[in-house]
Amino acid sequence: MKNIIIVFLLAAAILSGCTSYQQKEDPNEVRQDSGADGVEKEGKKPSAIGNETKNFLLIGVDSRGEEDSRSDAILLASYIPSGESIKLVSLMRDSYVKIPDYEYMYSKLNHAYYIGGKDLLKDTIEQNFGVQIDHTAIIDFKGFTKMLDAIAPDGIEVEVSSAMIDDMGLELDPGKQKLKGSDLLSYVRFRHDGQSDFGRVDRQQEILIELKDEVMNQFSSPAGLARFPEVISQALKYVETDLKIEEAIALGVSFLMDPVTDIETLRVPITDSFENKTYEHAGSVLQLDFEENSEALKQFLKAEKE
């Protein structure tokens, strides 16, 4: 990886068509892989670019440009310019949380975005999990396919199953295949097998790492580095974010000076910290042990703040 904002935008892109971003194996285990509306709130100054931790809220929405949509993917990305890793936390969309000023008080986490947009979702996460969010980014299906085609125009090789081909209507043979934008969207959204959302999340992680490698290749040469500002500008066209282009470039320059080598991931809720419940107004939800999950999240992010 050669800059945080590209990884930041790629993460949002990958999550645009997906219900969640979880751990591949044991959700409690930290993995290390090699791997908006653009208007600031009144009176809030852009956060300075220094050595302090920056927390980004990445929101993938289930639309292709429609006004009404839900946040089917919710990810926190934590980055410190002098650090060696990016920390990614997946917040499950069906988590049963307290939504500020909501008539039923509690509902699914993704419902906060549906009724109040990015600001209400941000407030809900901050109040339920005790984390500070510095910037937000939103991307939908359309942005996903454009981003993927821009970063990996030749496609990405993946393992495609017969069930996936039949379900998504792909004109392919089972086995290793190179998929591009819209087909990659189908690939990461597939969940109609025994793995359900867990398999979907595995594929999200797989594609994120592959795209990270694509970005590395693009910026590994002097010619690639010279294209850096233009790439940032183009990437921002696909994402609705409150991050200014000057801030994005400053973060990228910082990243070039101190490259990150690892991506560490966590899923919330963690294993054995929730129950499956059903409520008339919300449907099937994940009833969280907030004390356990908040502590797990705090400990996971703690190293970045020391």
Kindly report which listed range (13-17, 71-75, 144-148) carries the lowest average pLDDT score.
Answer: 13-17
C-beta of residue 8 within 8 angstroms of C-beta of residue 77:
yes
pLDDT tens-digit readout, 89-147: 888 888 999 999 999 999 999 999 999 999 999 999 999 999 999 999 888 878 878 87
pLDDT at 279 exceeding the cut of 90: yes
pLDDT of residue 251: 67
pLDDT of residue 237: 77
> Where do the domains of the chain lie, and which CATH numbers do they carry?
4-305 (3.40.630.190)
Helix (H, G, I), strand (E, B) or coil at 243: coil
The whole model's pTM is what?
Answer: 0.77
Q: Residue holding tokens 């890793």?
A: 85
C-beta of residue 211 within 8 angstroms of C-beta of residue 151:
yes
pLDDT tens-digit readout, 240-256: 888 777 777 666 666 55
Q: Residue holding tokens 């183009």?
A: 234
- Beta strands 71-79 and 85-91 are antiparallel
Helix (H, G, I), strand (E, B) or coil at 273: coil
Rg (CA), the chain: 18
Question: What is the C-alpha separation between 203 and 192, in angstroms, rounded?
Answer: 13
Q: Which residues contact 110 (CB under 8 A, 6 or more apart)?
A: 70, 71, 72, 74, 93, 94
- Beta strands 54-61 and 135-139 are parallel
State the greatest distance between any 2 C-alpha atoms of the chain, in Å, as a whole number.
Answer: 58
Mean local confidence (pLDDT), 181-185: 87
Question: What is the C-alpha separation between 146 and 141, in angstroms, rounded?
Answer: 9
pLDDT of residue 255: 59
C-beta of residue 162 within 8 angstroms of C-beta of residue 145:
no
Q: Note if the bond before 174 is cis, omega within 30 degrees.
A: no
Helix (H, G, I), strand (E, B) or coil at 195: coil
pLDDT tens-digit readout, 160-174: 999 999 998 888 899
Q: Residue holding tokens 């650090």?
A: 83
C-beta of residue 71 within 8 angstroms of C-beta of residue 95:
no
Two structure tokens written together for 295 = 């502590």
pLDDT of residue 285: 93
Kindly report which listed range (37-46, 48-57, 181-190) carries the lowest average pLDDT score.
Answer: 37-46
Pairwise pLDDT comparison (300 vs 197), residue with the higher score: 300
pLDDT of residue 20: 31
Can you list the positions of beta strands (E) in the chain? Answer: 31-33, 54-61, 71-79, 85-91, 96-98, 106-108, 135-139, 156-160, 175-179, 240-241, 262-268, 274-279, 283-288
| Per-residue pLDDT band at 27 (split at 50, 70, 90) | very low
| Per-residue pLDDT band at 40 (split at 50, 70, 90) | very low
DSSP 8-state assignment for residue 306: -
C-beta of residue 151 within 8 angstroms of C-beta of residue 209:
no
